[in-house]
């Protein structure tokens, strides 16, 4: 089901993108010969009017083919019809080219906007104000003097951040300094935190050492034949303390289980408004891991809903702006050499795995949220001035306009060479990301094998 979700999401994003080109072209009187989901040979479809709507053999994209595009005119096959693509003025061709990315970006904004209007279970770190629940001993936060209960009002001039905003930036800034504005019982402090770093999948990621304040851990689902089930934990229970120590963060709870080393613990919890205690004995996770578990899934979400269209639209815009800001930091590090291209780029296999994992963890709600992220990236990527992509078409139109001001024209041979360069670039890029995906899969499998063998002993 996870990989089926990937196929559905991929097809949806492609159809949305190509529909943007298609509908604007139709409205402007430009003839559309083909609307294809996928590349390569035609598998099946139907013809309606002048347009062939088809599914093609390679489901890694799609395209809209206009009558009288570059190659036809180069080869002298133009019919001279007024509805051919290049027969139309530059402003029309510009609108058609930019429509696909715009539809993708609009979709990315629309998904969280609609979600908050109808109400949904959002992750706590997206909706909760930044109150520190735990400070890890020896961490960057501890060195800067942060304490549990501190309220983070801003960081690096980013006002009213969410935990998601903050942690995304932290991950992308290993060994950098960030300045916080903190409210501590009415007193405003401005500590400077020197972030630490950790290696994840061979990439350096920043770490700060603080966790959101929860106040309790809510049980979402209890696995059968586990310590949690034997202890009598039930969905909806709120674990407020372990061995008398109040719970402030989920990571704190996991750390308590690890420190128990399999010895019995006492859970203080709330059930239907009443307090009670349960005894449970954590069990090792297995393999080479040193962690322990009780065998339940926590509910780390909160219900979010608004009736205000303006608030919902602001939520959708903020969600996407957060992604764009983090992407900007990431690209800066990529071009400066702080991050490797190999670790930064994922192809269809990597995206399929990420979609499958997201679906398995969060269902269709998580998959649709991921679709918004991918749709935003698809829209931005297609605006890059690379031949074959929409940004390349836009670049040609701008060059054509500038040459026109000088009384010059862009030759068909120049257009052909430009498209050929772009085609070769895209083929090389696809080859690189697919090989990179395969190498990652092999490395992950080889890394998992010793743990599986250890668990089977």
Q: Which residues pair with 199 in a beta bridge?
A: 204
Measured in whole angstroms, the distance separating CA 227 from the mean position of its chain's CA atoms is 34
CA distance linking residue 271 with residue 166, whole number of Å: 33
If phi over 0 gives left and psi between -120 and 50 gives alpha, with beta otherwise, what is residue 256? alpha
Instruction: Determine whether 26 is exposed, middle or buried from the number of CB atoms within 10 Å of its CB (0-12, 13-18, 19+).
Output: middle
Instruction: Judge whether 9 and 111 are in contact, CB under 8 Å.
Output: no
Residues tagged active-site: 18
DSSP letter for each residue of 304-326? E--S-HHHHHHHHHHHHHHHHHH
DSSP code of 300? Answer: -
Instruction: Judge whether 214 and 298 are in contact, CB under 8 Å.
Output: no
Instruction: Judge whether 5 and 353 are in contact, CB under 8 Å.
Output: no
Instruction: Judge whether 142 and 338 are in contact, CB under 8 Å.
Output: no
Q: Which two tokens stand for residue 323?
A: 């992604």
**Number of alpha helices (DSSP H) and beta strands (DSSP E) in the chain:** 13, 21
Instruction: Judge whether 256 and 271 are in contact, CB under 8 Å.
Output: no
Buried b (16+ CB within 10 A) or exposed e, 236-260: ebbbbbbeeeebbbbebbbbbbbeb
CA distance linking residue 29 with residue 87, whole number of Å: 11
DSSP code of 225? Answer: T
CA distance linking residue 38 with residue 60, whole number of Å: 6
CA distance linking residue 354 with residue 359, whole number of Å: 9
Instruction: Judge whether 316 and 110 are in contact, CB under 8 Å.
Output: yes
CA distance linking residue 218 with residue 237, whole number of Å: 6
């Amino acid at each position: 089901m996870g990989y089926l979700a990937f196929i559905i999401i991929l097809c949806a994003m492609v159809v949305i993108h190509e529909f943007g080109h298609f509908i604007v072209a139709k409205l402007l009187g430009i003839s559309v010969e083909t609307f294809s989901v996928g590349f390569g040979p035609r598998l099946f479809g139907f013809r309606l009017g002048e347009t062939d709507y088809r599914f093609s053999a390679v489901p890694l994209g799609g395209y809209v083919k206009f009558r009288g595009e570059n190659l036809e005119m180069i080869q002298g096959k133009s019919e001279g019809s007024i509805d051919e693509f290049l027969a139309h003025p530059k402003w029309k061709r510009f609108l058609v080219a930019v429509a696909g990315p715009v539809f993708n970006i609009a979709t990315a904004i629309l998904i969280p906007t609609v979600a908050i209007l109808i109400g949904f279970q959002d992750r706590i770190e997206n909706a909760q104000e930044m109150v520190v629940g735990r400070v890890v001993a020896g961490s960057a936060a501890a060195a800067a003097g942060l304490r549990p209960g501190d309220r983070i009002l801003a960081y690096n001039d980013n006002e009213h951040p969410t935990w998601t905003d903050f942690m995304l930036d932290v991950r992308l800034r290993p060994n950098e300094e960030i300045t916080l504005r903190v409210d501590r019982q009415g007193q405003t402090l401005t500590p400077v935190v020197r972030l630490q770093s950790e290696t994840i999948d061979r990439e350096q990621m920043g770490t700060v050492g603080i966790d959101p304040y929860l106040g309790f851990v809510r049980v979402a689902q209890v696995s059968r034949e586990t310590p949690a089930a034997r202890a009598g934990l039930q969905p909806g229970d709120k674990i407020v303390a372990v061995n008398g120590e109040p719970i402030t963060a989920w990571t704190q709870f996991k750390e308590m289980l690890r420190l128990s080393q399999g010895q019995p613990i006492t859970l203080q919890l709330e059930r239907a408004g009443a307090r009670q205690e349960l005894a449970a004995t954590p069990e090792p996770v297995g393999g080479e891991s040193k962690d322990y578990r009780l065998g339940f899934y926590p509910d780390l979400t909160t219900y979010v809903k608004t009736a205000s269209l303006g608030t919902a639209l602001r939520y959708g815009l903020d969600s996407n702006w957060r992604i764009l800001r983090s992407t900007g930091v990431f690209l800066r590090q990529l071009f400066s050499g702080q991050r490797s291209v190999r670790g930064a780029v994922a192809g269809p296999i990597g995206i399929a795995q990420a979609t499958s994992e997201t679906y398995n963890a969060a269902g269709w709600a998580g998959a649709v949220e991921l679709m918004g992220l991918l749709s935003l990236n698809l829209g931005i990527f297609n605006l890059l001035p690379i031949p074959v992509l929409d940004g390349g078409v836009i670049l040609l139109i701008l060059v054509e306009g500038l040459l026109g001001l000088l009384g010059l024209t862009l030759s068909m041979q120049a257009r052909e060479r430009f498209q050929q360069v772009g085609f070769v670039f895209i083929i090389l890029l696809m080859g690189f990301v697919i090989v990179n995906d395969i190498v990652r899969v092999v490395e992950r499998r080889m890394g998992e094998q010793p743990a599986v063998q250890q668990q089977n002993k």
